[in-house]
Structure 1
Amino acid sequence: MLFAIICTDKPDHLQVRMDNRPAHVEYLKSLGADLKGAGPFLDADKKPNGSLVIINAADMAAAKAFADDDPYAKAGLFQTVEIRPWSWLLNNPETAA
Structure 2
Amino acid sequence: MAYFCFHAFDKPGVLDTRLALRDTHRAFLRNHGHPLTVHVGGPLLNADGQMHGSMLVIEAETKAVVEAFLAQDEYMKAGIFASYTLEQFNWGLGQPEARNG
Same fold (TM over 0.5): yes
In the other structure, the counterpart of 2:66 is: 63
Partner of 1:21: 22
Query: Matches of 2:8 and 2:72 in 1, distance apart?
Result: 14
Taking structure 2 as the reference length, the TM-score comes to 0.88
Gaps of 5+ in 2: none
Give deviations 1:41-88, integer Å, cap 9, x for gaps: 101110000000111111011111111111111111111121000011
SS of aligned partner of 1:7: strand
Do the aligned partners of 1:5 and 1:67 also contact (CA within 8 Å) in 2? no
Deviations 1:21-46 (A, max 9, x none): 01100010125981110001101110
Summarize the alignment of residues 9-88 of structure 1 with structure 2, pairs less than 5 Å apart. Answer: 9-30=10-31, 34-88=37-91
Question: Tell me, which stretches of 5 or more residues in structure 1 are unaligned?
Answer: none
Letter of the 1:4 counterpart? C
Distance 2:68 2:58 in 1: 12
Report the TM-score, using the length of structure 1 for normalisation. 0.91
Q: Which consecutive segments of 4 or more residues in structure 1 shift more than 2 A?
A: none
Q: What percentage of aligned pairs have identical amino acids?
A: 33
What is the aligned-residue RMSD (CA, Å)? 1.6
Aligned residue identity for 2:51: P
Q: Displacement, 1:19?
A: 0.6
